[in-house]
Structure 1
């Protein structure tokens, strides 16, 4: 894949493109595919908000990690700024994504 060759602008695939491709390959109407894709995304978001791990075999794992509170610095004025603890989403690629 030449996505990163010569610092070319990265190619994008949007949700619409995924819906279109699934529709073309399965023959299912785009409106139906769009609802299914959106429902899947909603479930992923809800699951992560509930601090639950999502394992999609061979694709990867979405997980929630707790970041400790720390002290940061505003680079414009040099002022010390406390950064509170927070949860972040992390993704660990599975076997099919590791060697792209």
Structure 2
């Protein structure tokens, strides 16, 4: 399994669209910045057939340090939940079969 970086993705999109790399980089970064801003506001982001991003608050809890067995208070924190869309599910299932 390979890792695809933002730079590699920008290069691919620039090649596919025949746009300058600088323009594609600005669009991709603007898109990511907007996603971060909306999720930080607590908004839900839905992209048909791709998936849904939701901002959730994980409740505070008491955990345990496995080495010392001491109890540790873990404060509540905001996380992002992603639920994949129909098209992504189909593509991933096809990839598993081949």
TM (norm. structure 2) is 0.88
What per-residue deviation string (whole Å, max 9, x for no partner) do you get for residues 37-75 of structure 1?
000000001111111100001100000112111110112
Summarize the alignment of residues 6-45 of structure 1 with structure 2, pairs less than 5 Å apart.
Answer: 10-45=1-36
Counterpart of 2:88? 97
Structure 1 CA distance, aligned partners of 2:38 and 2:68? 39
Aligned residues: 91
Structure 2: 5+ residue runs without aligned partners? Answer: 93-98
Counterpart of 2:43? 52
Counterpart of 1:87? 78
Summarize the alignment of residues 54-69 of structure 1 with structure 2, pairs less than 5 Å apart.
Answer: 54-69=45-60
1:82 deviates by 0.7
Instruction: Judging by fraction of residues, say which structure has more helix.
Output: 2
Structure 2 CA distance, aligned partners of 1:37 and 1:63? 20
Q: Which segments of structure 1 move beyond 2 Å, counting only runs of 4 or more?
A: none
